[in-house]
Structure 1
Amino acid sequence: METPREITFLQATAVLISTIIGVGVLSLPVIAVKAADSGAPLLTFLGAMIALLSLSILAALGKRFPRKSIIHYSEDILGSWIARIGSVAIVLFFALLSALTAREFGEVVVTSVLRNTPLEVTVIVMLVLTAVSCRNDMNTFSYIHLFYLPFILAPGLLIVALSLQNADMINLLPIARVANGEWLYGSLTIAALFQGSFIVTMIIPSMPRPAKTLQACLLAIIVSGGLYLLIVIATVTIFGAEETKLLIWPTLELARMTSLPANVLERLDILFLAVWVTAVFTTLFSTYYFTIHSLSNLLRLRDHKMFSFFLLPFIFVLAMLPQNVLDTYRFILTIGLYGLIITIAYPAVLLIIAILRKKREDQLDREHAQESP
């Protein structure tokens, strides 16, 4: 049965933006600074360009197979059994990504706000909220993202704009230090923060005009990558590269130092945390939804709702595997880097093989029509 085409260009763009802007916004500046010192803004830009390359590959695949998700058209390209191995890897990766997102959320909350609350409570509450929300259809899924997007972007841009009043632009010099191995590692690490955008493969079959996917991806990278870039610039110009390296969550410290004019609010960290919780929810909502949706596609089921609570205990167990906050970030960085094999290398291989074998959805439809009696 063909998927109803009900997600507009604006909704698709909103889903991508609110998925990309998530839990990693807290640690982004320190990741960039450790790799490139004062060249962190340039490194962030390079990471966004790598993410755009990944999305361009996915958009090209979606253009060739506009009515199918990557779980389905990978079987047309590679064959059923080989493709299913890749599909299982995708499901496992996004299940692990969901778990680590929930764990990082829990670590920040119990450290900064609810210090007497057990870590397990904060993690399970966010996972239950996400699981309940994932029982909606694709149209409701996109509307939820569209609704929350202004509440993520507007306060985030406001905090960055106000913080730049205390900026010292000399901290951005030199713009680019002598390139070394850390630049490649750092740019790939930052690109990994954009991996949630892989859910575009789930959105394309529901878009009435799949050909506009690339424009939606480009706009999403401009907005989310632009916000990330502004956050890194603000952090480096205020704290300097060396001091930023000593902070676990530099963006949170940036919000603590920022106030509204006339001292309406002397510290904006509470406002920022409210925005950040919303951003974490939309990111976790997307990765969790993609996990259960892909699993239902892999098993050829018509509905994904049965998996929303079925996977919850497994995701929770995965979330609690790291021993502490430092261990959590080691897991996140390692899984994020290896995940690029799934989110960039695997789609690139699919696209190359599809081009070489001249595989397209319309061509496959003609082949099936000729095989039919």
Structure 2
Amino acid sequence: MVTNNKELISPLQFIFIIIQTQIGVGILSLPYMIYESGAKTDAWISMLLVGGIIQLIILLYWVLTNWFPTSPFYGLLSKVYGKLFGRALTIGYTVYFIFVSSLVLILFNFVIEIWAFPRTPSWAFNLMMCILAYYLVVDKLRVIGRFHTLVSVLLLTIIFLTLPAYPYMDIRYIMPIGDSGILNIVKGGKEALLSILGFEVILFLFPFVEGSKKKKLAAASIANVIVTVFYTYLTLICLLFFSPEEIKLIPEPVLYLLKAFTFPVLERVDIVFLAIWIMSVVTSLMSYVYLASVGLADVFSVKHHKKTVPFIIGSSFVIALIPRNSISIASWSEIITNIGLIFVIGIPVLTVLYICIFKREKVDQDANKSR
């Protein structure tokens, strides 16, 4: 399988696909999760640390895909590990993305049920989200990129909604800086990394981005900087607005912050935020459904991913109905995100090492032939 010109996206669309895949469900509870992991008032430093780590991972992705510039990642696995084992890894990634898609639905319903619609059955919202995702994902990658670009404007609204908190912030809440210790800041970084997974979409979309290798790397790096700054900003705002005693009691600090204020024409700012947040959830769901459907299409040698989308959507919908309470939801979230480290970091790192040790000469020969 090689890249098709009709599937190519612009560097700008690439940037917004990355941003929208990462900024999703986790935006509401990220400051709380990092704080509780041990980073405490240094949670914002943990977030900056994660941004640096992700940039190193992006460089690793860039090196790996440059060895096979015309092959999507699923095809790359077969070339490196052989057809049988490569296909097994593709199946593994597909199953993982299905479970991540279901997790997005689970966490979305959990928040919506608490904050807005406690009596609406979860399957109803799941069905609506799945129908919307199906409608958008069955089209070409370029159309998906355009949608992600369009809704990214709404992220600026989130910044605007936090402005009323400025007069009530207290710099003393994060003093002294570094008081949590390096070890706890690193622990907070791990929690932050798990909460903002989604940058792995870079690995799968690199061959489909227009422009030179340097432009692709620059686009991915810009997206990482934007996401890092955005999450660091929200984390810092929450830490400065809530006292250390308050923030450890509120699992969705961003929503509680917005609920404290009203505008002349807006009574419930938190509900307005939820409406914007839903679009970020949709785009995250779209990205994971797309990656899973492309993987399944590769396994069964189907030419277009749209034929496998119904199965991916249906599987995610059914799995999302399984967890029924906060304990089971927390367990699912922890298991899936921890397994994600294997697919997001573990396998790419091992693949680079495997190529360097066993197949570097063959890869260099193939690269010279393709020039």
How far off is 1:53 after superposition? 2.3
Tell me which amino acid in the other structure corresponds to 2:347: Y
**How far apart in 1 are the matches of 2:238 and 2:152?**
23
Q: Which secondary structure state, in structure 1, belongs to the residue aligned with residue 304 of structure 2?
A: coil
1:173 aligned residue: 175
1:112 aligned residue: 115
**How far apart in 1 are the matches of 2:56 and 2:10?**
23
Contact kept, 8 Å, 1:87 with 1:298, in 2: the verdict is: yes
2:315 aligned residue: 314
How far off is 1:290 after superposition? 0.9
1:272 aligned residue: 273
1:294 aligned residue: 295
Matches within 5 A, 1:236-275: 236-260=239-263, 263-275=264-276
Tell me which amino acid in the other structure corresponds to 2:275: A
Contact kept, 8 Å, 1:64 with 1:360, in 2: the verdict is: no
Which residue, out of 144, 157, 161, partners 2:159?
157
Range that drifts further, 269-278 or 327-336: 327-336
How far off is 1:360 after superposition? 7.3
Range that drifts further, 21-30 or 176-185: 176-185
2:282 aligned residue: 281
**How far apart in 2 are the matches of 1:73 and 1:314?**
26
Percent identity over the alignment?
A: 24
Contact kept, 8 Å, 2:42 with 2:180, in 1: the verdict is: no
1:191 aligned residue: 193
Tell me which amino acid in the other structure corresponds to 1:303: H
How far off is 1:352 after superposition? 2.0
Q: 1:117 to 1:17 in 2, by over 3 A?
A: same
Q: 1:273 to 1:360 in 2, by over 3 A?
A: farther
Aligned residue-pair number: 366
The answer to whether residue 162 in structure 2 is matched with residue 145 in structure 1 is: no
Q: 1:50 to 1:258 in 2, by over 3 A?
A: farther
**How far apart in 1 are the matches of 2:204 and 2:244?**
39
How far off is 1:89 after superposition? 1.6
* Residues 227-279 of structure 1 deviation map (CA, whole Å, 9 limit, x = unaligned): 1111111111111233111112111111112344xx34344212211110011
Tell me which amino acid in the other structure corresponds to 2:336: I
How far off is 1:338 after superposition? 2.3
**How far apart in 2 are the matches of 1:255 and 1:18?**
21
Tell me which amino acid in the other structure corresponds to 1:3: T
Contact kept, 8 Å, 1:51 with 1:194, in 2: the verdict is: no
Q: Which secondary structure state, in structure 2, belongs to the residue aligned with residue 13 of structure 1?
A: helix
- Consecutive unaligned residues of structure 1, counting only runs of 5 or more, are none
Q: Which secondary structure state, in structure 2, belongs to the residue aligned with residue 209 of structure 1?
A: coil
2:237 aligned residue: 234
**How far apart in 2 are the matches of 1:61 and 1:231?**
33
- Consecutive unaligned residues of structure 2, counting only runs of 5 or more, are none
Which residue, out of 39, 54, 57, partners 1:54?
57
Contact kept, 8 Å, 2:87 with 2:299, in 1: the verdict is: yes
How far off is 1:306 after superposition? 1.4
How far off is 1:180 after superposition? 6.8
Which residue, out of 14, 17, 27, partners 1:15?
17
* Residues 268-306 of structure 1 deviation map (CA, whole Å, 9 limit, x = unaligned): 212211110011011111111111012112322211111
Range that drifts further, 175-184 or 197-206: 175-184
**How far apart in 2 are the matches of 1:182 and 1:322?**
31
1:348 aligned residue: 349
Query: For the aligned residues, what is the CA RMSD?
Result: 2.2
Contact kept, 8 Å, 1:96 with 1:318, in 2: the verdict is: yes
The answer to whether residue 97 in structure 2 is matched with residue 74 in structure 1 is: no
Q: Which secondary structure state, in structure 1, belongs to the residue aligned with residue 138 of structure 2?
A: coil
How far off is 1:366 after superposition? 6.3
Contact kept, 8 Å, 1:22 with 1:276, in 2: the verdict is: yes
How far off is 1:169 after superposition? 1.0
Q: Give the alignment's TM-score, normalised by structure 2.
A: 0.92
1:3 aligned residue: 3
Contact kept, 8 Å, 1:159 with 1:258, in 2: the verdict is: no
How far off is 1:4 after superposition? 2.4
Q: Which secondary structure state, in structure 1, belongs to the residue aligned with residue 310 of structure 2?
A: helix
**How far apart in 1 are the matches of 2:122 and 2:69?**
42
Which residue, out of 205, 208, 229, partners 2:207?
205
2:130 aligned residue: 127
**How far apart in 2 are the matches of 1:295 and 1:350?**
21
Contact kept, 8 Å, 1:189 with 1:337, in 2: the verdict is: no
Q: 1:239 to 1:322 in 2, by over 3 A?
A: same
Q: 1:340 to 1:210 in 2, by over 3 A?
A: farther
